Chain A
Amino acid sequence: AQSVTQPDIHITVSEGASLELRCNYSYGATPYLFWYVQSPGQGLQLLLKYFSGDTLVQGIKGFEAEFKRSQSSFNLRKPSVHWSDAAEYFCAVGRSGYSTLTFGKGTMLLVSP
């Protein structure tokens, strides 16, 4: 069975500092990997996705993620965090781009001035 682990429940970052959110997955085949962001009272917005090819994926809002098969990881990064990035971030895995997704429990990002 597929699973996703996001080890950090909360992370606090100073505005302007760099960010890395961790995601580890368990999946028997080549995974389809996603990062979503959810602001309070909102639905999920796709930040980026990895299907194949280049393991460094660029997304919206200046985010990027790197797929590392040997570590079963898909960590999300941003070089300089803005206060508007404060939200909850979810990593997800699926067997295709339109299959059901298994989500991690999320990481809440807090941005301090």
Chain B
Amino acid sequence: EAGVAQSPRYKIIEKRQSVAFWCNPISGHATLYWYQQILGQGPKLLIQFQNNGVVDDSQLPKDRFSAERLKGVDSTLKIQPAKLEDSAVYLCASSGDRHGYTFGSGTRLTVV
């Protein structure tokens, strides 16, 4: 089966600019996650969707981050305005059953 697709792979922006990331999960997977992985650390959950509803966004910095999953398939994660500390890899994952989930290759964001 096709994996979790993410784009772009890399993005460099200046601080205070906005940026958006896109994720296409595995077909039929109802649950979608966005994780942030800062260099030298493990991934940290930003938001979890079940179909097109938000299950957990307790760690999403809502003053600058937003995410949506229209129609319960693709998802976009937006940062506006970006800060230097947002430099990280943003990983999308999807799950369709009880037995774990699949990660995409991630988008590496550098804020300068």
Q: Which A residues contact B (CB, under 8 angstroms)? A: 4, 34, 36, 41-46, 49, 51, 90, 92, 96-98, 100-101, 103-106
Q: Could you tell me if B31 and A44 are in contact, using CB atoms closer than 8 angstroms?
A: no
A42-B97 contact given A100-B33, A100-B45, A105-B40, CB 8 Å threshold:
no
Q: How many Å lie between the Cα of A17 and that of B43 in the bound state?
A: 29
Q: Could you tell me if A46 and B100 are in contact, using CB atoms closer than 8 angstroms?
A: yes
Check B48 for interface membership: any CB of A closer than 8 A.
yes
Check B11 for interface membership: any CB of A closer than 8 A.
no
The listed residue (A45, A97, A100, A105) touching B42 by CB distance below 8 A is A105
Question: Can you list 23 A-B contacts (CB < 8 A)?
Answer: A34-B100, A41-B108, A43-B4, A43-B91, A43-B103, A43-B105, A43-B106, A49-B100, A90-B43, A96-B98, A97-B97, A97-B101, A98-B95, A98-B98, A100-B33, A100-B45, A101-B43, A103-B42, A103-B43, A103-B44, A105-B41, A105-B42, A106-B41
In the assembled complex, how far is the CB of residue A13 from the closest CB belonging to chain B, in whole angstroms?
21
A98-B44 contact given A43-B103, A43-B104, A43-B106, CB 8 Å threshold:
no
Q: How many Å lie between the Cα of A45 and that of B42 in the bound state?
A: 14
A51-B42 contact given A42-B105, A100-B48, CB 8 Å threshold:
no
By a CB distance below 8 angstroms, the chain B residues around A45 are 103
By a CB distance below 8 angstroms, the chain A residues around B31 are 98
- Other than the known A43-B104, A90-B42, what 8 A-B pairs have Cβ atoms closer than 8 Å? A42-B106, A44-B91, A44-B93, A46-B102, A103-B43, A104-B42, A105-B40, A106-B40
By a CB distance below 8 angstroms, the chain B residues around A97 are 95, 97-101
* Nearest residue, chain B, Cβ from A104: B42
Residue from B41, B44, B45, B100 whose CB has the most chain A CB atoms within 10 Å: B100
Q: How many Å lie between the Cα of A52 and that of B102 in the bound state?
A: 20
Residue from A4, A34, A46, A98 whose CB has the most chain B CB atoms within 10 Å: A98
